[in-house]
């Protein structure tokens, strides 16, 4: 009952009141980014959600559109702005995803939503991560995030799918809160450049 009903109700309730509480912060950063980037403060990208359905993820912009002489975008680590690093350090760039949670595309807690191009590369086991809504934070996030291999991430994602419970979600929320405040864990692993997923040998 928690996994299929109560969790969704809790997500809607919490995201609504979190948006009310954090609206001044979201508005402040949206205005700052509008002037810093001379354009939209938000970044939109198609991601994969529950039952492998696509949805539009929303985040604050943290990277420039700088490209090389051939017009190709520079690597992510070269395009992250100083202000973007600050937002990522405190996970502020993730706050707009509360709108995704309120809409029902995401959950507060679950496997992180990944790129659409990875969908054909999952094996049957890895695809089980789509049995639940993707989350703003999750079991893999609080256990290493980008410092983990793709296989380790998927193992943690599937483990979460098999063990979803209220107590586990509370534990993940608490661990996320601590790791945002303490300068290691989630934030330090974000500095690790995660190689693109190219599939797992069967």
Which stretches of 61-152 are assigned E, i.e. beta strand?
107-109, 135-137
DSSP of 25-45: HHHHHHHHHHHHHTS-SEEEE
pLDDT band at 105 (very low <50, low <70, confident <90, very high): very high
pLDDT tens-digit readout, 153-197 = 999 999 999 999 999 999 999 999 888 877 554 444 444 456 788
| Residue with the larger pLDDT of the pair 7 and 202 | 7
| Of 29, 20, 101, residue with least CA distance to 58 | 101
Spatial distance between the Cα atoms of 41 and 52, rounded to a whole number of angstroms: 28
Which pLDDT does position 185 carry in this prediction?
Answer: 42
pLDDT tens-digit readout, 69-103 = 676 776 666 778 888 888 888 889 999 999 999 99
| Of 29, 93, 92, residue with least CA distance to 59 | 93
Which pLDDT does position 188 carry in this prediction?
Answer: 42
pLDDT exceeds cutoff 60 at 6 = yes
Find where tokens 């790791």 sit: 179
pLDDT over 70 for what percent of the chain?
A: 89
Instruction: Indicate the pTM of the whole model.
Output: 0.87
Is residue 60 within a helix (H) or strand (E), and if so which, with residue range?
A: strand 54-60
Quick check: 106 and 136 in contact, CB under 8 A?
yes
pLDDT exceeds cutoff 80 at 55 = yes
- Domain residue spans in the chain? 2-190
pLDDT tens-digit readout, 144-165 = 877 888 999 999 999 999 999 9
Look at the alpha carbons of 20, 97, 168, 180 in this order and tell me if their dihedral is positive or negative.
negative
């Amino acid at each position: 009952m928690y996994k299929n009903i109560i969790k969704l109700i809790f997500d809607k309730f919490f995201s609504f009141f979190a948006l009310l509480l954090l609206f001044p912060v979201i508005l402040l950063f949206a205005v700052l980014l509008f002037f810093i980037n001379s354009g939209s403060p938000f970044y939109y990208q198609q991601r994969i959600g529950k039952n492998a359905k696509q949805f539009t993820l929303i985040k604050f912009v943290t990277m420039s559109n700088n490209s090389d002489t051939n017009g190709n975008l520079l690597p992510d680590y070269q395009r992250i702005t100083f202000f973007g690093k600050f937002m990522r350090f405190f996970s502020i760039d993730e706050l707009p995803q509360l709108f995704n949670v309120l809409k029902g595309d995401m959950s507060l807690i679950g496997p992180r939503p990944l790129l659409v191009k990875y969908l054909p590369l999952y094996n049957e086991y890895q695809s089980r991560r789509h049995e639940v809504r993707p989350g703003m934070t999750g079991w893999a996030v609080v256990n290493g995030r980008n410092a983990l291999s793709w296989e380790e991430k998927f193992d943690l994602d599937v483990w979460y799918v098999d063990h979803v419970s209220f107590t586990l979600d509370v534990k993940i929320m608490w661990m996320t809160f601590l790791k945002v405040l303490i300068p290691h864990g989630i934030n330090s692993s974000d500095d690790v450049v995660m190689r693109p997923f190219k599939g797992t040998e069967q």
